[in-house]
Structures are given as C-alpha cells and as structure tokens.
Chain A
C-alpha cells in the first residue's frame, strides 16, 4: 500500500532521511518511532506528498501510495487515498462546526450530495461523534478534537491514514478513546494506518509493525513490532520490564506481561518493599492554598481547593484535560486572580505581587515552553534572562549548561530540540532562583531520553530544596519522580497522597509496571531492578 523505494530526503545540505526502503501492506498498523529530530514527521509527510511539495527540500528515490507516485501527485491529488492528521488537530480545522468539518474533504473532491450525507452520518456513528455534530469546533476537548480531525479525513474513504502524535496532548482516557477508534478502523475497514508517537506505552501493543528511525543518517529499521522492540533504544516500561525479566517472546501489552509475570510477582512478594525516598533536610511550607476558587467568566475552573506545598516535594497534578490543573498552577504564580479563597506563596498573595518580585518566589514553565523564549540566539536569551531576573551575568547560561550540556550558543531557540527548548525555558525560570518551580505538561514532545533527563533534573531540584509541582498526563513520569500525587476533577481535588497509594488504585493513572505487578507496590522498572538485586 505504501512503498518507499530507496527514498531519501535532504533539506538544504542536511540529510533528514536516507535509504528508506520499506513496504507497508494493506490493513497494517505501523508505528514510526525514534528520538526527536530523527525525521518521523518528515517520513509521515512524505506519504501524503506534503514533503516535498509543501515543505521544499529534495526527495530522492521514490514514494508510492496505492500506486501513485508522490513525485507527480501533490497532496491535493492524494486526498482521496491518504488522510493526514497533523500534530495539532485544531490547527488543521477549516470550518466552524463539527458536521461541516467532516464534509469539507468530500466537498473538495466533488462527491455527490447524497453520498456526502450518508458518509457524514456513518462517520459520526463510527467515531462516536453523533452528540457533537452541531458543536462549534472551538468548544471541543482535546480528545474530541482529535477524533473529529480523524473523522474529517475518513469521510473521503482514504486507503491510508497518517497520524502524527495523535495522543501526545491527550489525557490517558482521551488517548484510550482515540486509540480504540483507530483499532476499530484497522479491524473493521481494513485501513492502513501509519502513526508516529513518543508515548510508545500507549500504542506499541496495537502496532503490527514498526519503523525505527535511528537518526544520524543511518537507514531506518522496519519489521514486526515484537522483533524491533527487542533491540529498540526507545522502549516503553512494559518492554523494559520484559527485557529485565528475560521474558520471551517479549510482551508488548500489559495483559501479556501480566500473564508472564506470575513468577516475578512471587519473587517481589518476598523481597523487601522499596523504601520511598523521603525528602531529606528541613522542610518548610512554600505555598499554601485555602478554599481557592477561580472562574473564567461564569464558568468555575476551581472550587474550594486546599493544597500545601513544602520544600523538597515533587507533586504531580493529574486529571482530565480541562480539569483545572493549569488554572491551579497559574493561580500559584499570580496569573489568575482568585474569585475566592486564599493563595499564599512565600509570604505574599501572588496576584498582588509585581512580576519582578514574583519570579523570586515561584516560577512557571508554561505548556508551550517556547512562549517564554524571545531572543534570536541561546546566548542572547540567557543574557536577557539575567537582566530580567537581576541575576549575575552568566547565571542562566551556566544553569542551561547543567540542564542540557553542549548546546551551541549561536543557535536560534526554535532550532533546539523539544527537550533542549524545555531545558532553556527552565533555565530562564531558575535564573530567578524561585524556591517553587511549576511545570505545566513538561513531557509533551519529549522522547524517552529527554524524559529521563527531565526526571533527573526534577529530582535534583527537589534535593536542592526546591519544591516542584508538575501538571502532567504522563503516568510514567509521575511514577518516576513524584513523591505526592494530587488528582483534580471538575475543579476539585479528589485525591491527594503519596504517589504509590494514589496511582496504583486508579485504572487510568497507574503506570504499566504498577499494572503488571500489582499488588506488589512497585511503579517503575528501576524499582523492580533494585528490589531484585
């Protein structure tokens, strides 16, 4: 169905892809994995002709989809065989209401009105969108928007569906919805699906095959998922646990792993329970929130929230998209004025503190870390941060060097990798030496290596007396670093306690290792390794 024939892609003088030789069969669900910057998006976009017709650059070799050569067919001429959904589904919406959006592609292809009508109804049912048909697109949640975007390309009955990071921005439940939908499409309609995803733990068990992009100009590896996973440098916790325990065949799903894990569970039952690393040193309360209420117009975002944050703690805020996690973080740095209740950070109410003073008590890295960066080069950004925070010259640069060593000073912040950009934004915030560090959805777009680095940084900060609060959907990161987990739903705190207690009991928030080895109180592969040694 999709054929890459010695295909390569160069952007200017920089090779992005080399020697891609693969053939994806009809009805296959193929996962594209690799570290950031290895060309996953480029590979996907080559399938529907956006590369090189839209992006420029030089494509060598040949890419054919359903017999059509992308060289002679620009994206619009492939629209009836390839459906492409980009990283941010909202950025691709053309109309204003769900139903219109579903019909848009068919209108472009010039399908007959009665066919369009029938397919819109079918698609609404297939993706469970019937209740949303009249909704303005701006009011959809992340998971809904993703499903509408998928639906809007499905109505043209493409043979291939291409998805770039379909679940990265979604909470665990929304991601489940989208993935269940995908599986149904592959099983029922025989659709060929090609998707890229950083969060392998969410998708690896659904994939029939994998393309692993090693980067650095080496050709990609393509094969059945199980075989690729044995060697893959990027691997979800279930696979890493499987490797540790030496299971063959390597399990890819929690279910398979649980069936193989009975002996391991017995061994763990006799091993001493892992000692939770208690934060050492003197603990003082850095922030306290009492009965906090926040509203956007008439809509309440937070209701009666109580929380206190002490130094040395790493608190994970979890909950659905739109549950109020970001609002709580924003209230803690004074970006939101509470409608009721009290917020104290340090000795002051944040919304009454001028920004220049606030940066010394609490710093927030927003969801899109790039928002914080303005300058043309890394060096200029760091110098500006020193000036903004009235810090000694060079403070920010040396912090950045510690977080992400060896980055060229002359690079534009936009040209950094996701992980480096996050590190730079964090360095900017840390320049003010705030005791309270807040991170909003820090793992979006980070690969496993960058995530491990982030986990180390967060642990170092906590050990250095900072308190870190992170709002995240990433259950694996929470299991790695959080000492305490707070679950927010509908603007209220519904659970607050040590991470192990809170997440193990929750089907949505439990990490893979927790699910596999329950009731043993271990959450990460490292903890298993420690318990066994």
Chain B
C-alpha cells in the first residue's frame, strides 16, 4: 500500500499556485497554472469520492468567466478602443449615481474583464485541486490538539449530511405509504418534524457512544496554566487583528504592522500548544512530513515566490495591456512549471 501525502502539503502546494495566480493577469501564465493543476490532479488523484471535486471547481471557474464577461459587457465602464457592438443603453437616474447600463462594448473592455475573470477562475481551480488531492478527514486530523473538538464536530457533520438525506427519503416513502401526496408545502411541513427528530435522536446516540469511548477525557491541569492558555490565545488573536489592521491601513504607524502581527501569531500558537497538552489524546498513524511533503509543498511555495519576485523586479508581461499579444515571461513560467514536481513523486512513493 502506498502512503498518502500529507494533506497540508497539498494545500500548501495549491495555495502557492493560487498566490502565484493572483499576482498576474497574463492569460498564458494563468492557463499554465491551470494546466499544471490539471496534470497533477490527473496523475495523483485517488478513487475517493472527494477526488471528483476538481471537475466541479473547473465548471464553477468556467461559470465565473462567463458571468464576468456578461457583466463586463453590460455594466462596466468600457476601456476606450475598438467598439465591437453597441448594446441599447439606459442611463439610471442621478439618485442611483447616474450609472449607465449597456452602450458600446469594446474589445479592450472585454479583454480586461476576461483576464480578470480568468485569474479568479484559476484561483478557484487551484482550490479545487487541493480539495481533490487532500483527504478532508485527514486534514482535520492534523489540526492542533486544542482545536481537536472542532475537528470532530466537522467530521460528524460530514457524516450526518448523507444520513439526513437518507432519512428524508425514508420519511417521504412513508408519506406515500399512508396515501399522502409527497409534493407540496404541506408535505414539506410533515417532512420537517420527523427528520429533525431523527437528527436529534442520532446526535444523542452518537454523543453517548463517544462518551462511552473516552471522548472528552482531560488531564488534570493546574489553574494557573489554564489561565495562561486562555490569556495567550485571546491576547494573541487580538494582536493578530491589530497587526493586520496596521498592515492594511497605510496611515497606521509601522510598529503596529508586521511586529505586532508576528508577536500575536506566536502568542496564539503558544496558547494552542499549551491548550493541546490539556487533553491526553494521542494520534493514530499521523501523516508524517517527509521528503514527498517537502517537495510537494515546496514546489508550490517556489511558484508563488517566483511570481512575487518577478513582480517586485518589474518583469514585463505580468499584466499585459489589452490590445497587445500576451507573452509568457520566463521566470514566472519556470516557477509555475516547478509546481509539476508532485507528478514525478508518483514513482518515488511506491
């Protein structure tokens, strides 16, 4: 049996590619990112149900492109240039800011909208790739111990949804068996009660089963440590908020930005770590973080880094001007291609 790559590595890889995609509007680069995710998913996907997520995200991406183009043509102020077609136009009254709807549609305007839409779609496709490659339950298993309860709640919710669907079907069948129509508002009302009752029943049973299996055992923790944990987590999160505010607001003093953000992150992490020690839980076969994880996650980070560096040094072609033929800048393209590395791992992991 081959081992699965740590789901965190897949997310790192995908988010790296997504970051790269947000830093450019070059359609060729964006399509390259899309092609890389597609190739890796095609080679590395499993037969698990979530592996179908990629196709779904691809369709959502296409939908986004279409919607953005339509909106761009109808609502947006058009960039000046070649007029392709003139739509009947309506100028909204001044109390609605005098917006104009319709009017001439320019090739340049459509191109800008198209580039923008493609960027969003590419980010979506990257997220889809992560969803298809990383097992959701394994990812939840890797959350810090202090957040363990949250992870369990999510897993339970995921198994509840299909059960609820099955129960709805059973109740509808029962309606038919009693000679009642299974459509209409009244049948919906009759459906809700038994289904809610069933869900409540199941949660009580599950809670009993979990309790009987040792869920929620806690180690004895001195009160001082418990308080320290709470203070660290809360203080840390507040500091993270303040730091983000400092970073985003140009007028805030520089000291409020990065340093506070970093300090907050460290505090929160320490709090979570301390909190995790409260529960005596251990983990069964945690996913190790070894060479394949470094390669997978690292290749995504490299792609993001290459794109960022290219942006900083001012490489041409990251944001092509409408009306010109887009090119494929060498540095970012090479960075994106590095993210193909997980394909090679297929042989190594056997």
Q: A residues touching B (Cβ–Cβ < 8 Å)?
A: 48-50, 53-54, 74-80, 82, 84, 86, 88, 91-97, 99-100, 103-113, 116-117, 120, 137-138, 152-153, 156, 330, 333-335, 354-356, 358-359, 363-364, 366, 368, 371-372, 374, 385, 388-389, 428-429, 432
Contact partners of A364 in chain B: CB under 8 A: 177
A82, A334, A388: which contacts B180 (Cβ < 8 A)? A388
Contact in complex: B205, A92 (CB < 8 Å): yes
- CB under 8 Å from chain A, chain B span 144-160: 152, 155-156, 158-159
Known: A80-B214, A92-B212. 16 other contacts (CB 8 A): A54-B211, A75-B211, A79-B214, A82-B212, A91-B209, A94-B210, A94-B213, A94-B215, A103-B284, A108-B213, A109-B280, A110-B280, A120-B284, A156-B214, A333-B176, A388-B179
Contact in complex: A76, B177 (CB < 8 Å): no
Contact in complex: A110, B181 (CB < 8 Å): no
Q: How far is the CA of A135 from the CA of B87 in the complex (A)?
A: 57
Contact partners of B177 in chain A: CB under 8 A: 333, 335, 355, 359, 363-364, 366, 372, 429
Q: How far is the CA of A49 from the CA of B217 in the complex (A)?
A: 14
Contact partners of B190 in chain A: CB under 8 A: 374
Shortest beta-carbon distance from A68 to chain B in Å = 14
Q: How far is the CA of A48 from the CA of B182 in the complex (A)?
A: 43
Q: Does B281 have its Cβ within 8 Å of any Cβ on chain A?
A: yes
Q: Does B162 have its Cβ within 8 Å of any Cβ on chain A?
A: yes
Given contacts A77-B217, A95-B137, contact A86 B209 (CB under 8 A): yes
Contact partners of A84 in chain B: CB under 8 A: 209, 212
Overall SS of chain B's interface: helix
Q: Does B282 have its Cβ within 8 Å of any Cβ on chain A?
A: yes
Q: How far is the CA of A223 from the CA of B202 in the complex (A)?
A: 36
Given contacts A79-B214, A93-B159, A107-B284, contact A359 B209 (CB under 8 A): no
Contact in complex: B202, A91 (CB < 8 Å): yes
Shortest beta-carbon distance from B282 to chain A in Å = 5
Shortest beta-carbon distance from B319 to chain A in Å = 44
Given contacts A371-B170, A372-B177, contact A112 B285 (CB under 8 A): no
Q: B residues touching A (Cβ–Cβ < 8 Å)?
A: 137, 152, 155-156, 158-159, 162, 170-171, 173-182, 190, 193-194, 202, 205-217, 280-286
Given contacts A50-B212, A95-B137, A96-B155, contact A374 B217 (CB under 8 A): no
Shortest beta-carbon distance from B220 to chain A in Å = 12
Contact in complex: A50, B208 (CB < 8 Å): yes
Shortest beta-carbon distance from A240 to chain B in Å = 35
Closest A residue to B175 by beta carbon equals A355
Contact in complex: A117, B217 (CB < 8 Å): no
Q: How far is the CA of A61 from the CA of B284 in the complex (A)?
A: 39
Given contacts A106-B284, A107-B283, contact A355 B212 (CB under 8 A): no
B162, B171, B217: which contacts A109 (Cβ < 8 A)? B217
20 A-B interface contacts by CB (under 8 A): A50-B212, A77-B217, A78-B212, A84-B212, A86-B205, A91-B209, A92-B213, A94-B156, A94-B215, A103-B285, A106-B284, A107-B284, A108-B213, A108-B216, A111-B282, A117-B284, A152-B213, A366-B170, A374-B190, A429-B177
Contact in complex: A385, B211 (CB < 8 Å): no
Shortest beta-carbon distance from B4 to chain A in Å = 11
Given contacts A91-B205, A107-B281, A116-B284, contact A50 B211 (CB under 8 A): yes
